[in-house]
Structure 1
């Protein structure tokens, strides 16, 4: 019985108890909260549901808790229920109910932890979307890992997820990039507002390989040649690096297409017609404060040119026209103001602002020998995705980026994350999986089978802790999906690896020497197989490999 199963049992039992006593069962929450006590002596699980609803039902919390305890005591899945304090319920499950968790993992296999809670929901997940003016830096690398993991998690809940990269190929930054390439090709320093570095020289050389006459062209044509060829080369590099990192996209959407197709102009006209744009000082402003933004936003500047937000507005309208129920934007730390303006744009088009979600990722810092490494795309001192992968490997790079909440900055200690020790979190988790694979191979050599296990034999404290940790997995994945927090799965995997290592240290799984295999060995081997399965499922959701040998 998983925590979710127990929560359903508790709610159903509470509804029956309240109804039988002439009380209103409608006071019960849609979902009952079930937690694991910090002190295992208090039981396997605990709930405060009696305290939560007693006042609404018109009874004392401890009285309601006592009634619930009496009703639960008659359930075959429950071994013991105690009432604690003002009305907490501490519950200890029957061994057969705990064994059912292991059986469920083994039966469902790769599907364990998945659900259809988001079935029928179409989600546009836009992430990375770095400007094609340089390689993917550490901030973009974080979104590549987190975005891909979030896409996997949402898909595991049944959602139809489209991973999208917004290709910023329109605007001043592209002009600066092209001028920087021209300067490099001419052997001149980068423009004051331009980009420098080895990658600029390499792309400039590539442009001249494709167009040997590029420097001889008239200025406008020369700028366009370096722009078009250079941007294409940079973006090809970005896509290749992301693919090697295990992050691919379903759609690469070109910002410039919104202007070329007239989508921006149509969006502006729609908002003018609805009265959500007004003219002031020669410019057109979005009435975004009426929809919760901190200030109105200029959409068309006084010179007649579209402001940057105009493209964002047209892009949102395009996403909704493609049928997406939810548009998730994953943006950098300097884009916090986009939350209000994007939600306001949605409302101005008559959409529910909840169709827009914006996740803001904080900075990533690289540490070498205890000293932070500074980076600047303009100066050419960029620490890129492939630099990080070269230093610590793909799995460690993905895991370190996913392991922390996106609203926290990350300091990456290269020595730690490159190490093969239990201090390295990804190594710790992967080693648990590899150790379990080795255990399975050893069992096969000894002829020990995991068939027909008797889980009632798993009575050791560490066995119970491992089983209950396995039971937490579906709820952890659900939380990671609903809260958009993939780091919850990484932290869970570390807890699971720890529970397994403690189990392995205390409970002998395979017979030694000439010992005959006993039923307890079969049960423990089955528990190990279930643990291996959940570790693999969790690592897959993060896009991290589950090695069989290390």
Structure 2
């Protein structure tokens, strides 16, 4: 709706003033006024255009109103205050808008202008099964990627495999100790070892494949266990994400940064820029020059590179791949890490704003009113697979987006399994199934959706049409604000608007076949909009429930 009116205003300005002011008009607001008496849409475009045209806003507003007064989309146009323009939309406008909803991919836009964006998310260490926190980040990243692709961005999705460093060695050590226990040797596990049955499962599998590992030299055995465990767990992570319907374009290995010499090269590059110095036998990056609270070690006095060093190399690799923007999705506990990574990016010669970081807050699970804190297999956390077993993939994906990503989420398992309106995913899916049933019933009665009598639709239907078309602006808001939770919020509102409309109006009435055909066309548009939104969320849109 807004885009149609924007185009009309731009056309009027071209006709009157002979210039293309589309960029200025894009900055103006086109919103429903607070009071219906001021029209359906009000704009401050004349105030924005005044700077470009060097004319008073009131004059510009009057010229726009006069130029568009004969357009069939408007019943009238009024100028208010010192230059606001109020549009009163005609029934014809709503009819055309409804046809657009039913017959086109009306929600697709080009606000991204084909900017290349790399979204990196999940990036869990391959040292254990994915937990529910990983799942929330996975769904946020997946839905954001889908929406940004639909709004004109060129999006790539990447999983960064943390397959180098201490945590992988610790995985090998944990598996090795379990092997020794299984062989009847009494060893005490280190306090920071990975716990849970999955370590025992891997140890048994490794013993079957390499029986000699039991008596192998410890260092060699730990190395073999680490490599084997990493492969097994990475494969499990991939299967879990596939089950969650989350896919990636790239799986990028941290280890490859070392094998390909990229860590060494980026530090050499920074050294040439005079941004690396030696102190206490270690190498330090001057991140404090770029907004960090202190300089950071990139290579320890032992000769080991820090995690920060590989993160610098990884982000430099992203920049060299030609992306206009990098978006990283991290756990909220990484908040303090943002300034140093942005500082490193500035040190490399790129703007710190090249990187955006979305932080994912914790998820707490509740069942029968009590918090579920761990699963037997994982040991000290709840696995994502366990949650999908409990409530299904649709509920997991939808519920993870029922709150803004930087807000803690209480996931009520009983609610997710319930068939009542308080369950948001059930409520939205039921609206889709209900409309499917209405259309089937109408067909049996010999009434089909039709555009022939859309002129019979009135104010209530117009409001539902506008609500459907709101999917487009919702997706644009998701893309601009990086807030995918706005999509399920919108779908809940649309489902609610439909249920209210249906409970008040007879959609299928054999005594009024012409009105029925128009209302059926309307509800088919509502169904299509709900289905499109659920498809973007990668949640099923059932025809029956």
TM-score normalised by length of structure 1: 0.90
Q: Distance in 2 between matches of 1:229 and 1:206?
A: 10
Q: Which residue matches 1:411?
A: 410
Q: Distance in 1 between matches of 2:496 and 2:79?
A: 30
Q: Which residue matches 2:132?
A: 138
Cα separation, partners in 2 of 1:250 and 1:58, compared to 1, 3 Å: closer
For 1:115-126, list aligned pairs within 5 A: 115-118=109-112, 120-126=114-120
Deviations 1:33-79 (A, max 9, x none): 12234555653223344566779988887776666555554432112
Q: Distance in 2 between matches of 1:83 and 1:373?
A: 59
Maintained 8 Å contact 1:3/1:472: no
Residue 476 of structure 1, CA deviation: 1.4
Residue 256 of structure 1, CA deviation: 1.1
Cα separation, partners in 2 of 1:26 and 1:211, compared to 1, 3 Å: closer
Q: Distance in 2 between matches of 1:142 and 1:291?
A: 32
Select between 280-289 and 149-158 the one with higher mean Cα deviation.
Answer: 280-289
> Are 2:113 and 1:102 aligned?
no
- SS of 2:469's equivalent? helix
> Are 2:539 and 1:548 aligned?
no
Maintained 8 Å contact 1:196/1:378: no
Maintained 8 Å contact 1:7/1:33: no
Select between 86-95 and 119-128 the one with higher mean Cα deviation.
Answer: 86-95
Q: Which residue matches 1:498?
A: 496
Cα separation, partners in 2 of 1:37 and 1:206, compared to 1, 3 Å: farther
Q: Which residue matches 2:122?
A: 128
Q: Distance in 2 between matches of 1:438 and 1:378?
A: 43
Residue 114 of structure 1, CA deviation: 1.2
Cα separation, partners in 2 of 1:120 and 1:4, compared to 1, 3 Å: closer
Q: Which residue matches 1:457?
A: 456
Q: Which residue matches 1:511?
A: 509
For 1:196-211, list aligned pairs within 5 A: 196-211=195-210
For 1:309-324, list aligned pairs within 5 A: 309-324=308-323
Q: 1:182 aligns with which of 169, 176, 181?
A: 176
Select between 469-478 and 422-431 the one with higher mean Cα deviation.
Answer: 469-478
> Are 2:260 and 1:261 aligned?
yes
Q: Which residue matches 2:440?
A: 441
Residue 255 of structure 1, CA deviation: 0.8
Q: 2:150 aligns with which of 131, 152, 156?
A: 156
- SS of 1:327's equivalent? strand
For 1:3-402, list aligned pairs within 5 A: 3-13=2-12, 19=17, 28-37=24-33, 40=36, 42-50=38-46, 69=65, 72-82=68-78, 89-108=85-104, 111-118=105-112, 120-187=114-181, 188=187, 190-375=189-374, 380-402=379-401
- SS of 1:547's equivalent? coil
Deviations 1:171-211 (A, max 9, x none): 11122222222222333553211121222222222222222
Unaligned runs of 5+ in 2: 182-186
Cα separation, partners in 2 of 1:320 and 1:63, compared to 1, 3 Å: closer
Select between 238-247 and 334-343 the one with higher mean Cα deviation.
Answer: 334-343
Maintained 8 Å contact 2:10/2:20: no
Q: Distance in 2 between matches of 1:181 and 1:123?
A: 38
Q: Which residue matches 2:184?
A: none
Q: Distance in 2 between matches of 1:50 and 1:112?
A: 27
Q: Distance in 2 between matches of 1:86 and 1:418?
A: 55
